[in-house]
Structure 1
Amino acid sequence: MTDPNRYARVDFGGSVARLAQLPPDTGREVAFAGRSNAGKSSALNAVTGRRGLARVGKTPGRTQLINLFELGDDRRLVDLPGYGYAKVPEQTRRNWERLLASYLEQRQSLVGVVLILDSRRGLTSLDWQLVELLQPTGAALHGILTKADKLSRGQAAKALESVRGELGRAGVDATLQLFSATHGQGIDDLHGLLDEWYGWADIP
């Protein structure tokens, strides 16, 4: 049975600007990735029940480094740099993208990626780039369609099926769900999936 308190006990493990600064490539890591302003920080805060864990603000693009959060037992949550935010210097954006790609391609302890998608936008070209980077790695992919509370039930269901159809037609193996950090929608489902990825699903 899922223990939400397991995620509330998370500790900040530092920020890194280069892969060489990461902790030893052992254990299990789950990365949260997504387009800037898609709701990544809010999702991380909702999953852990720690409102101030990841910085949330009106200005997107706050995550400029890889942020690590320790769950214990050699398991980590990883907050990857948001992508697609235009109001930063070109060189800065390139550095973010290079860091993101290198992490996805090289990190052996990465067991899964939670892809943050704004339910009102669906998959963007930048999201597809991340999906394509992830495919050769063998890491699992789970998409959460955030801000579902801003859509009617019918619209939200349609958005979910649209993304599912796009991924299916591209031959991408992924799971999906609706999510609202504001209303707490989908948090229990995401906890259950994370338990499986971390190998906690069968531990009482």
Structure 2
Amino acid sequence: MGMVGFDGTVDDVIDSLRAQGAGGNDEHRLIGQDEVQALLDTLADSAPALAGALVPKLLPLATVTAVFQRLVEEAVPVRDTRAIVSALVANATRSTEAAELTEIIRPALGPAIVQTLAGLKEPLAAIAIDPALENLLAQAVRAAPGSAWPFDPDLGARVGAAVSAAADALIAENRRFAIVTTPLLRRPLWALLRARLPQPVVLAFGEIPDDRAVDVVAVVGGTQQLTEGT
């Protein structure tokens, strides 16, 4: 993808590319290495040491681009380029894999994510997963590390249907919410739900600020409840 001649935020880049006829359901793919380099160049105007510390000293541009793509894919707010780059600089020695790095830095972005769902002070509406079900799903993830779809198809379908049913009332009220779970399950659960819910937000517990109230509106129950509900 070529440069778009824009030196704003990721959201600005996407808007610019949309104006040129790009877009679709995979907007994260609109962000390429040229666009991310432009963002780093803009950051260098106000924070040259920070921008210069990341690429290529700590991470290659391709990895940083992949991190931005994964964030945009889940509609994580990315206007604060400085916060994202700061988190990457602080954690670059922990992993060189974009998927793992994205999960590592998400807690630093948690306050911004929650703010998009619940404003500055309102409780976060949340759908939780029953611990017994979480344990069952975690076993599947551990048995297939790195798999984009680690769950048994039948169990995955039942979990997806149960979460979707729990979300129906919130969606009808036009109320923003998150599904909350463990860090291990966060991304696989998002991948499971993306086909059933419009832009699902799945948060790990550590991404929710300690001072933010949480309103658990539903708990998706254990395997017996899932079986009875099908």
Category of TM-score, reference length = shorter chain = under 0.3
Where is the strand percentage greater, Structure 1 or Structure 2? 1
Q: TM-score, normalised by structure 1?
A: 0.26
* The structure with more radius of gyration: 2
More helix per residue: 2
Higher relative contact order (CA 8 A, sep 6+): 1
